[in-house]
Amino acid sequence: MNLFLLLSLILFNELSANEINLFTTRHYDSDTIIFKEFTDQTGININIVSGKSKPLEKRILEEGKSCKGDLFFLADAGRLVSAEEKGLFKKIRSKVLEKKIPKQFRSEFWYGIAKRARIIYYNPKLISLKEIENISYEDLADERFKEAIAIRQSNNVYNQSLVASIIENHGKKYTIDWLKKFVQNFSREPAGNDRSQILSVASGESKLAIANTYYYALMASGKKGEEQQEATKKVKPYFPNQQNRGTHMNISGIGVLKHSPNPELATQFIEFLLAPKVQKHIINNTFEYPMIESVKPSILVETMGKNFKQDNSTNVSSYGKWQKDAFKIMKEAGWN
């Protein structure tokens, strides 16, 4: 081997040993600040490949052993389970992660980084707090909510995870019966994103909406314009299932890819994401809930309701177990 080739190989190995390749479905500009801080602290560069979950998953699978990706960051527990079942992740051991992340928000293959609650919103001019006091997701199938509820389409993964959690807690037969009644209570044909559902309640088109908490906080922040900020003043959040298992929680999570060239550095990066300072940065910019208890949510999220009972009894991996069944019975019930 000539000297030039030998030096080139050494240089390549040094470069690849000091960088990690991150596939991510998250779309927050604030994440890039975190990535830069990690590089500044460690000298490890992060190369980012952004996209939607299915195309990224397909690319990783097709590239197989030649895939140079180290990490896969996804915004739903069901999608993390899907990637795990397809063999995309490798097991890693980290006492730091096992200590910091509650067991219901991690597996041997992936780890929750931030939490998100899927809750109910109501228009107090159309429906009183007394009418929905102690309400659960299960109660939304009641006749008293006929043509009252705004919600996204059945192909939305957050809705699929919510229905999957009902299957996990009550069984498929119960959920099929529940869905038949629930879809009769839609105020309109499901369409739009979570913010659209909140706007429907603000306008008086719907009495109730189901949406993730960070969408409401984003609107309240003014980052989506004055009109949406004003709309949040007409709508109030409500955390369901406080009398039983608690409010439905989902996660953004990350795992080390099976053929990662640098699994140790990848694990180091995940541990970095659980540092209090980093957690605070994440939740103050994305309006998610922190994974570690020592960090408080952003002020906007905290004003929506603090100290509410979270569903800590349903392991989020069950969303992946039931998502396909959930989508099938949602469609069969007439949820477009």
Q: What is the pLDDT of residues 20-72, one digit of tens each?
A: 999 999 988 889 999 999 999 999 999 999 999 999 999 999 999 999 999 99
- Residue 14: pLDDT above 90? no
Q: Are residues 67 and 15 in the same domain?
A: yes
pLDDT band at residue 17 using 50, 70 and 90 as cut-offs: low
Residue-level pLDDT at 27: 85
Q: What distance in Å separates the CA atoms of residue 230 and residue 271, rounded to the nearest whole number?
A: 39
Which DSSP symbol is given to 185? G
Specify whether the CB–CB gap between 252 and 73 falls below 8 A: yes
Is residue 235 domain-shared with residue 286, that is, in the same domain? no
Residues 237 and 266 in one domain: no
Q: Judge if 135 and 188 occupy the same domain.
A: yes
Q: pLDDT-derived band of residue 289, with 50, 70 and 90 as boundaries?
A: very high
Q: Higher-confidence residue: 27 or 262? A: 262
pLDDT per position as a tens digit, 204-229? 999 999 999 999 999 999 999 999 99
Is the confidence at residue 320, as pLDDT, over 90? yes
Tokens, residue 46: 């992060």
> Are the C-beta atoms of 164 and 323 separated by less than 8 Å?
yes
| pLDDT score at 160 | 98
Question: 165: domain range?
Answer: 117-248+310-332
Span 136-162, mean pLDDT? 98
Tokens of 142: 């009641």
Identify whether residues 222 and 124 lie together within a single domain.
Answer: yes
Query: What are phi and psi for residue 111, nearest 5 degrees?
Result: -135, 135
Q: Is the pLDDT of residue 269 over 60?
A: yes
Considering the domain architecture, whether residues 260 and 111 belong to the same structural domain is answered as yes
* pLDDT value of residue 4: 43
* CATH code assigned at 234: 3.40.190.10
Reported as a pLDDT band with limits 50, 70 and 90, residue 10 is very low
The count of domains in the chain is 2
Nearest CA to 211 among 196, 227, 221?
Answer: 196
Q: Do 282 and 240 have their domain in common?
A: no
Mark whether 104 and 121 lie in a shared domain: no
